[in-house]
Structure 1
Amino acid sequence: MFGVALELKVENFRRIFKTPVPILTGLVAQFILLPAGTFLLILLIQPTASVALGMILISACPGGNVSNFFSMMSKGNVALSVSITAISTALCIFMTPFNLALWSNFYAPTRAILQEVNLEMSNVVITIFMVLLIPLILGMLLSAKRPDLSSKISGHIRKMSLVIFGAFVLGALAANFDIFLHHIAAVILLVTLHNGMALLIGYFSAKSIRLPLADRRSISIETGIQNSGLGLILIFDFFQGLGGMAIVAAWWGIWHLTSGLMLSWYWSKKELVEDLA
């Protein structure tokens, strides 16, 4: 998050007061519609408890760091994408624990896991604050005080972040490799469905209130590109790397980059021709 914050400005947060509807639409899709849709998908498919909990956790996370790049590649509204990323990251200190507790307790198998690990949501809040909010604040402060230095190091920090994220994903898969091999087909199908649903929720929530096509693309990407790195940190910190959760989060981290890249490439070839339907 520190690398992303180096390119953020206070204006990215103020934009919600200037153009509230697109940003609020993205936040509603991110923190309300996606977790609710995830719960319905779980009820429909009935995955194992740990896999279901991994799906709920991923849906409760804020947008991922590469969403702004995909938005630019898609000919989306990059300013909107950056603002949603910034605001959702700030809000996730409350919304991620809230959605994790809310939807997990609605489903008996996941509720049993929370009771077994005796999860204290206050500890989750503290971890999110340390992992996301402090780097966000420090990065924005450095950007404001030393724009020359922040511009110089931002590219290197982003590359380092990708390396660290890759290590998390590989570590999660390696620690649960036998489980992953045994359930690989089901996990791939489930994550593909889940991620596709997230992209569609973002797009059609924006379309339903007749937002411009560029906004729809950005909100779709913001909803479909989740911060699975945060999910993995929480899984290893509070759930001892629980197999099903870790596999879902790790594979989501791989797949959402793939789906985001494919969708962005497709949209990059399509002109922004507005439809009034």
Structure 2
Amino acid sequence: MTGIDAVELQFSPSAVLALQLILAVVIFGVALELRFGDFARLLREPRLMVIGLCSQLIALPLLTFALVAVADPAPSLALGLMMTAACPGGNMSNVLTHWAGGRTSLSMAMTTLSSLVSPVTTPLTFALLGDLHPATRAAMREVAVPYTELVGTILLALVLPLVLGMTLAQRRPALAERLRRPLKRFGVFVLLLFIVLALAANQGLFRPALVAIFWLVAAHNALALVTGWSLARLLGTGASARRAITFETGIHNTALGLTLIFSYFQGLGGMALVVAWWGVWQLVTGGLLARHWAQRPLQACVDDARGAHAAAVAETAAPPQRDRS
């Protein structure tokens, strides 16, 4: 590998462990807001979950490969886009969906489910995408990704704290409520600080590639948001569900991506920078989109209102039931 592909971030083993622990704290704090019963209610509408997960786990990875084929970036940059597409939904998608007047329960269910299946989907998606492109296939062979260890890291840093947090919230709701905000704020602050310090310590390595990375990430993030919205609209979901699916497809758990990169890809420079900048840029575009939709609350409910109106008309037209008691 040459150029940006050959750059490796200066990252000690203790720093890698610290990043994994920070990710676990963030996930645990978010899980305190969830209840197992929230997902039982969504079983009545499995179609919405299937649409959202297909958008996130199938449509976006395929379009990511198309973007890489057209843009033809350096292999490490391409791997960064592939890693992002392979990561599950990010927790900020729940907040943005709420701000935008979308269906927050659907967003939280999709984030949780995509996280629970990520030990299988993330390595599988990344391996398939990387192997399809000749340049990334060669780069992956050079770094020799240990997929078994990668699955273990996802289980420990993501799935385990998620299940523990939901269990505590279910059994000790008062304690979970006291811990929720402090843990969430602390985890997010420390994670952002960690990323900023890591990039600042290696800033001289990336200056030549910053412009290319900016446009690659901007195009990929826009593609993700448009994919979620378009697929949901094409398949006829309500407006509130469509907003949730848009954010679930366009907001990813880049903290997990960085953890995997620093753990198993020797801090591959271009790859790490793409995923780190994705984590920042998605908050900018997601925040702007949420603000735009928040200013159009009536439009958000048009499709759902039609369904409610149709149900009301059917109920009115039905013959009255006689009281036989």
CA RMSD of aligned residues (A): 1.4
1:169 Cα deviation from its structure 2 partner: 2.1
What residue number does 1:164 align with? 190
Give the residue type in structure 2 aligned to 1:193. Answer: A
1:23 Cα deviation from its structure 2 partner: 1.0
1:216 aligns with 2:242: yes
Output the TM-score relative to the length of structure 2: 0.82
What residue number does 1:135 align with? 161
1:192-211 equivalence runs, <5 A: 192-211=218-237
Structure 1 unpaired stretches of 5+ = none
Q: 2: distance between equivalents of 1:135 and 1:183?
A: 36
Q: 1: distance between equivalents of 2:176 and 2:240?
A: 29
1:98 aligns with 2:114: no
What residue number does 2:15 align with? none
Q: 2: distance between equivalents of 1:8 and 1:86?
A: 9
* Structure 2 CA distance for partners of 1:60 and 1:260, relative to 1, 3 Å: same
The one-character-per-residue Cα deviations of 1:112-169 (angstroms, maximum 9, x if unpaired) are 1221121121111100001101101110111112110100110011111212320342
Q: Is the 8 A contact 1:172 1:241 kept in 2?
A: no
Give the residue type in structure 2 aligned to 1:108. Answer: P
1:3 Cα deviation from its structure 2 partner: 1.0
2:237 is paired with a residue whose SS is coil
Q: Identity across aligned pairs (percent)?
A: 39
Q: Is the 8 A contact 2:119 2:154 kept in 1?
A: yes
- Residue 238 (structure 1) aligned to one of 261, 264, 267: 264
1:242-261 equivalence runs, <5 A: 242-261=268-287
Q: 2: distance between equivalents of 1:44 and 1:12?
A: 41
1:40-51 equivalence runs, <5 A: 40-51=66-77
The one-character-per-residue Cα deviations of 1:205-264 (angstroms, maximum 9, x if unpaired) are 100111011111110011101000000000000011100011001101110011111110
Stretch moving more, 264-273 or 97-106: 264-273
Stretch moving more, 76-85 or 159-168: 159-168
- Residue 293 (structure 2) aligned to one of 249, 267, 271: 267
Q: 2: distance between equivalents of 1:188 and 1:34?
A: 19
| Number of residue pairs the alignment of both structures matches | 276
Q: 2: distance between equivalents of 1:86 and 1:37?
A: 23
2:117 is paired with a residue whose SS is helix
Q: 1: distance between equivalents of 2:40 and 2:68?
A: 36
What residue number does 2:38 align with? 12
1:18 is paired with a residue whose SS is coil
Q: Is the 8 A contact 2:36 2:170 kept in 1?
A: no
Output the TM-score relative to the length of structure 1: 0.96
1:111 Cα deviation from its structure 2 partner: 1.1
Give the residue type in structure 2 aligned to 1:76. Answer: G
1:64 is paired with a residue whose SS is coil
What residue number does 1:76 align with? 102
Q: Is the 8 A contact 2:146 2:264 kept in 1?
A: no
Structure 2 unpaired stretches of 5+ = 1-26, 307-325
Q: Is the 8 A contact 2:42 2:106 kept in 1?
A: no
Q: 2: distance between equivalents of 1:227 and 1:172?
A: 18
The one-character-per-residue Cα deviations of 1:81-130 (angstroms, maximum 9, x if unpaired) are 11111111101111000001011000111111221121121111100001
